[in-house]
Structure 1
Amino acid sequence: TSARLLTTQIRIFLSEFGGYLKAIRWFLMSSHVEAEVLLEKVGRAGVITMNRPKVLNALNLNMIRQIYPQLKKWESDSETDFVMIKGTGGKAFCAGGDVRAIAEDGKVGGPLPVVLFKEEYILNNAIGTYKKPYVAIIDGITMGGGVGLSVHGRFRVATEKTLFAMPETAIGLFPDVGGGYFLPRLRGKLGLFLALTGFRLKGRDVQRAGVATHFVESFNRPSDLTPDPVSPLRPFRLFSSSSVEGIIQNLKADGSDFAKKQAETLARMSPTSLKITFKQIQLGATLSLQDVFVMEYRLSQACMRGSDFYEGIRAVLVDKDHSPKWNPSTLEEVSDQSVDQCFDPLGEKDLKF
């Protein structure tokens, strides 16, 4: 079967790096306490373990500042053959960045929105340009900041528990951490669809979409579970348009259940975020990874200057009423000029590598 073939392929790949299949089994099943991130050597493998299971291994500045220097050290270490990253708790690889902390600090003019986005993108770029094999075990929820820690690496291993999404337009942001690079490089308009709607890919679909490079069943999965359902992936022709408004017109004109559901989803998102994201994906298709991060840093700071991000965090994570009051409240009210300004250079404050 295809599942057995994929499992065989990943076993062969792992054997090429010293037979670390047993190590992966231990990585997936082991748990740690205390530190927010653990950095250790297992044989000739450098292992990064995100260890905040109570908050689904959400990525914070402290973790970034521990991971980055260790990555650089292992990259030049002759006794380290490859790097592997995983999460603890069994529910998530990493459910995203600590956006609530960013919002709280940003509201009072604190430095976190400036510092965290900058250092996170530098870390993401280090992963994308890493000279040694980088293996991300994306077992469980993988969103936002967790995507940045995995998708740019050479190998991304999904399991039947993987839940992948970039849901930032629902909180007044945009699919950052390099979303402007990898999303437009997925087939057809799939990347744009994922970026605008925050649609959740599950299990094998994460590999079918091209987000994961390999799929293996988690080692503690009962053997009597039924196979994954038929993939919902399809050609996303309805997302072929020169504007977000055009996409919504396509969806309404189509009238299928799928189209209606996506139109309803887009209606709940920040209009400003939708338009920023649309342009981000358009531009990112022809930019290098580093240039995408420079662009996204500019966008992150524009979102911090606006109001939708703080309102989105309030509605989704603080009050949890899921009724954000976006400003502007409609797509028609979001001018092209206001969108273009979000992409303007920041001069000396621009992201530099």
Structure 2
Amino acid sequence: MLTYENRQPEFENPQCDNRCRRICEILHKLKAYEEDSTAKFVILKGNGKAFCAGGDVTAAINMIISGHWSFGGRFYRRQYALDYLLATYKKPLVALINGIVMGGGAGISMHATFRLVTEKTVFAMPEAAIGLIPDVGASHFLSRLPGFFGEYLGLTGARLDGNEMVTCGLATHFVHSKDLASLEHALDVEGSSKALDVPAISNIINKFGQKVSIKKDSPYNRLEIINDCFCRETVEEIVSKLEGYLATNNSEKWITGAIKFMKAASPTSLKVFLKSIRKGRKQILPRCLVQEYNVLCHMLRRTFHDDVFEGSRAMLIDKDKRPKWKPSKLELVSEEMVDGFFDKVDDEEWEPLQLPHRSIAAYTTQNSKL
């Protein structure tokens, strides 16, 4: 068994190049394990209370402010390359998602063959709160969830627990956190004595797996309402429909939370994400990653607005939690402006994301609801 522990960002030394080197180290190790005949599978897990709370956005923003926007682009280019490698990995990947998994952490885990969650797991994609959009392949894996649940998660930053993740398809198994060490040991013992293929790994995990049961007030139990609201063509229509439901039933706390998040988030980010996930539903993963990188580079380059810099200032740096978005309202964000984020970046120093051709292993789709 070969294990790589993904450490949380070290905010006291915010150097984007250090983050790039760390991602390159992970890439190097994964490529080496992929070609190593003695490595039967790879385990991805966190080192601490979280699996991964996301990439260090603050570091990338600081580097851009002090130099050139391409510093941030270089970091995300490597991160997307890592996500793509994980999604097309030739050997089974077992992600032990124990604790918080947000943003970039979702890119590391959601593309794994086995995605194990626990009672401590908390998933969210709240990027719109800082002027970004859910990326790292989110336009692909969120768009494959039942109905329009992916739109709901990406537009509202809603949090899911482990039971909800398994129920909606983001995770494959629920395991009690106290059993993770025993599970790893079982995989190690079996892997040392014989070759482990996907069915064999699945059988071992199933011995530790638990039945899931979501809470009565879980938003997933309101999928009919979510589909009715989040199927709408515009964010304005989605908000209006949610407000209509809330007016007739104010006991639905999840609707209150959804509206509150959407009214506080970057209007532009919300509209760009809605277009991104709608396009992503019809695209394969590599195309989704290329598209998301294109959008992200426009945001880092400030082609149309400064929302990611203002959002990072308000939520991560100064922490006054009072971002001043421009445009400030949904109705002020034109369709032409949203479309512009999907156009080629007009900068001689910019290169679109180039991903090598790699076949997605058969077991990846067979073993995943995504």
- TM surpasses 0.5: yes
Q: 2:293 aligned with 1:297, yes or no?
A: yes
Shift of 1:183: 0.4
Partner of 2:314: 315
Q: 2:234 aligned with 1:275, yes or no?
A: no
Distance in 2 (CA, whole Å) between partners of 1:320 and 1:220 is 37
Q: 2:8 aligned with 1:49, yes or no?
A: no
Partner of 1:33: none
Call closer, same or farther: CA 1:261–1:51 in 2, change over 3 Å.
closer
Partner of 2:231: 240
Q: 2:71 aligned with 1:112, yes or no?
A: yes
Q: Which has the higher contact order (CA 8 A, sep 6+)?
A: 2
| One-letter amino acid matched to 1:209 | C
Call closer, same or farther: CA 1:177–1:54 in 2, change over 3 Å.
same
Q: 2:90 aligned with 1:131, yes or no?
A: yes
Distance in 2 (CA, whole Å) between partners of 1:144 and 1:175 is 7
Structural mapping, 1:1-353, within 5 Å: 45-52=1-8, 60-89=19-48, 91-110=49-68, 111-219=70-178, 229-230=215-216, 232=218, 233=220, 234-235=222-223, 236-237=226-227, 238-255=229-246, 256-257=249-250, 258=252, 259-304=255-300, 305=302, 306-346=305-345, 349-353=351-355
Shift of 1:61: 2.1
Distance in 2 (CA, whole Å) between partners of 1:150 and 1:220 is 19
- The SS at the match of 2:146 is coil
- The SS at the match of 2:42 is strand
Distance in 2 (CA, whole Å) between partners of 1:290 and 1:331 is 30
- The SS at the match of 1:97 is coil
Shift of 1:261: 3.0
Shift of 1:170: 0.2
Shift of 1:228: 7.2
Distance in 2 (CA, whole Å) between partners of 1:260 and 1:216 is 31
Shift of 1:301: 0.6
Distance in 1 (CA, whole Å) between partners of 2:236 and 2:91 is 43
Call closer, same or farther: CA 1:228–1:192 in 2, change over 3 Å.
closer
CA RMSD in angstroms, aligned pairs only: 2.1
Residue deviations 1:108-148 (CA, integer Å, cap 9, x gap):
33342110111100110000011110111010000011000
Partner of 2:361: none
| One-letter amino acid matched to 1:332 | E
Residue deviations 1:14-66 (CA, integer Å, cap 9, x gap):
xxxxxxxxxxxxxxxxxxxxxxxxxxxxxxx22111234876xx993232111
* Runs of at least 5 residues in structure 1 that lack an aligned partner in the other structure: 1-44, 222-226
Identity %: 42
Q: TM-score, normalised by structure 2?
A: 0.78
| One-letter amino acid matched to 1:97 | G
Partner of 1:9: none
Distance in 2 (CA, whole Å) between partners of 1:292 and 1:53 is 25
CA contact (8 A) 2:132 2:269 kept: yes
Shift of 1:207: 1.0
Distance in 1 (CA, whole Å) between partners of 2:81 and 2:165 is 25
Q: State the aligned residue count.
A: 302
Distance in 2 (CA, whole Å) between partners of 1:130 and 1:87 is 19
4+ residue runs of structure 1 moved beyond 6 angstroms? none
CA contact (8 A) 1:87 1:94 kept: yes
* Runs of at least 5 residues in structure 2 that lack an aligned partner in the other structure: 181-212, 356-370
CA contact (8 A) 2:9 2:56 kept: no
Shift of 1:320: 0.9
Residue deviations 1:192-239 (CA, integer Å, cap 9, x gap):
000001100012111112111111001179xxxxx9744602211221
Distance in 2 (CA, whole Å) between partners of 1:207 and 1:128 is 19
Shift of 1:346: 3.7
